[in-house]
Chain A
Amino acid sequence: MIISSQKLNPKIFDRDVEEIPIRKGFGEGLLFAGENDENVVGLCADLTESTQMHLFKKKFPDRFVELGVAEQNLASVASGMAAMGKIPFITSYAMFSPGRNWEQIRTTICYNDQPVKIAGSHAGISVGPDGGTHQAIEDLALTRIIPRMVVISPCDAIEAKKATVEAAKTHDPTYIRLAREKTPIITSENTSFQIGKAQILFAPIVGKPDVGIIATGALIHKALSVARELEKEKIAVTVMNLSTIKPLDGKAVLRLALEAGGIVTVEEHQIFGGMGSAIAEFLSENLPTPIEYVGVRDRFGQSGTPEELIEHYGLGEKDITGAVRKIINRRNNKSKHYV
C-alpha cells in the first residue's frame, strides 16, 4: 500500500492524474531559488524556454547570461562565475550538457570544486520523436563517475522544484536530470524532500516484501502501479524512490535489501553505469543481493511516442513485473542461478 506519511498525490492512480513535465518544476524552482539568494545566476545555451529558464530570465535579466549554442563555454563560464561567489545554474539538453561538455564539467567545475548546478533537460528515452541523438540515456553514468558531483533524478515536477531549491543551497557541483514530456504527478507539496535521502513510497500492508523495487525518475509511477497490481496477487513489493543517486542513501538501500532479499532497479537509462549499477556496486560490497535491471540494454534510441519507446526498450509495466517475477524465481531456484 501507498505509505500515507509520504503525503503523495491522492490522485496518483486516477485516470485523470495531473501530468506536468519535470523540467517545468525546475523552472519554477530556479525562480524561487533566485528570489531566495541574489547570488543565483542562470546561464543558457540557446534553449532558454525549452529548459524552462525563461522564467528566471524574465525576473532577473541582469543575472542571466545567454551563451549561444556553446555548451563547453557554458560549463566553464559558470565555473568562473562560481569562483566569484555565484551559484550558477546551467541548462541545455542533457545530451549536450553534460554530454558534449563532460571534460569541462570534470575539470573546471568538479576538479575546481565550484558549486555549479547542471540541469540536463530532455533526458531519457521518452524524449520521443526527436530521435536517438537527443535521447540522453548515458547522463547518469557520465555525472555520477565524477568525484564531488551530486546526482539527482527527480520523479516529478514537484520533486524537481524542491531539488532545484535545495541544490541552490549547497556548495556541491550538482547534476539535476530533467525530462521533456508530461509525466504524472506522484508527490505533493507536502511530501518531504532531502538531497541524499531515499524514500519508501509503497510497502506491504503487513510483513516483509518479497521484492524491493528501487526506481528513479518518472518511471516510479509505473513501479508503483506494478506494486499495486502484484499486491492483488499476494506478491509483496516495496517501492523506493531513489531521487538522489549520488551520494547514495546506503542505509536505506541496505535496509530494503535485507528485508526483501532481492532488488529490481528501474531507470530510463542504460543499465551500464546508471542507477542500477550504483545499487549493484553498493550491495555487492555490503550485502550481495540478487538484482534485476530494468533499463536500456546497450542500445541507442529512435523516434516514436514516449509510450512506444518505453515499451520497445523494455521499461514498461510488464517489464517491471517480469523483473519482479524473475527475482522470485531466482530465489526459488537458487542452484540454477548461483553457478
Chain B
Amino acid sequence: MSSGVLLSVEDVVVDLPTPRGNLRAVDHVDLAVGAGRTLGIVGESGCGKTMLSRAILQLLPRKARPSGRVMFDGQDLLRLPAEKLRRLRGRSLAVVFQDPMTSLNPVLTIGTQLIETIREHLELDLAEARQRGVDLLAAVGIPAPEQRLEQYPHQLSGGMRQRVAIAIALSCEPKLLIADEPTTALDVTIQAQILDLLAREQRRRHMAMIIITHDLGVVAGRTDEVAVMYAGRVVERAPTSALFKQMRMPYTEALLAALPKLDAAPHTPLPAISGRPPDPTRPLKGCSFAPRCRYAAGRCNTEKPSLSRAETPGHLYACFHPIETGAGAVA
C-alpha cells in the first residue's frame, strides 16, 4: 500500500454473541483510505457497514468482540488505551451519525455541544472557542450563527441539526471524517445540500472521508473508491469510476438496479432484490448472496468466493460468475 494511507482496516472481524448464537457482523474486512481521499461503503441494512464504522471508532456495543487491526495514523485503534483513544476521537477522527434528531443532546445548547468539543482538544479560551464555534456554524451554512449557539436542538430543523453535527465533527480539523448514512434521515431536498457541504468542506480541509450509505447514488461522483458490503463481507471494491463503468459482482448490479430512476416510465415496477440477506447467526457454506443471485450455479452454494482482482487496476470482487465485461451494467 502507498505511504499516503491514513486508515487501513486489516482483516477485521466483529462477533456479537446473541441468544441465538454468535452473530458475525463484520467478516474479515480489509479496506484502506488514503489521506484526503473518499471511500464509500455501500450495502443494505444489516450488511455490517455500521458495525464496521463503529469498530473503526471503537464505539461497538460492550459485548461485541472485534479482532484484526484498524491502523489509523500508525496506531492500532483496536488496541489503543482508552485515554489515547479519547484524545484521538473528535480531534483527528470525527463522525457524523445518521439521525440528527437523536445524535445531539436534547438538553444542551448547540453552543455547549460545539464548544465543549473544541475546548476538549484545542488550547483555546472560552471566547476563542466561541468565536471558532460561530465561524464553524457559518461555514456549514447556518444563518445567524451567534443566536444559534444559544438554541437547543429541537429549535432547529433536521437539516440544520445535521449541519450542526457536521460543524461539531469538523471543529478540530480531523484527518478522517466518518459519515454514517448522513442523509438517510433527511428530506430528499436537503440530502444533496448536505452531501455537497460535506464534499466542499472535505476539499477545503484536505481530510479523508468515509461515506456509509445504502444508496449507490450517493457515492457515485462523490467518492474515489467504493466498497460494497454484503452479509458482513466486502464483496466488491473498486475505484468509483471503474465500478460504475463495469460492475462485476451481481449484488452490486442488483443494488444499482433497485434504485428508482427518474427516466423510467410511470408505474414501472422497481426491480427489488428478492429474498432477504442470510441469517448472520447461520453462516452459509457458499457465497452469502447465492440464494438471491440469478447467476448462482454449482460451486456458488458450496464454496465461498474470495476477493480477487479484476482486469481493471484496483478492482476486486468476490464472485465465481462475474458479470461479463462488455455486457455493461444492467439498468
Q: Please determine whether chains A and B interact with each other in the same assembly.
A: no
B contact set with A: CB distance below 8 Å:
none
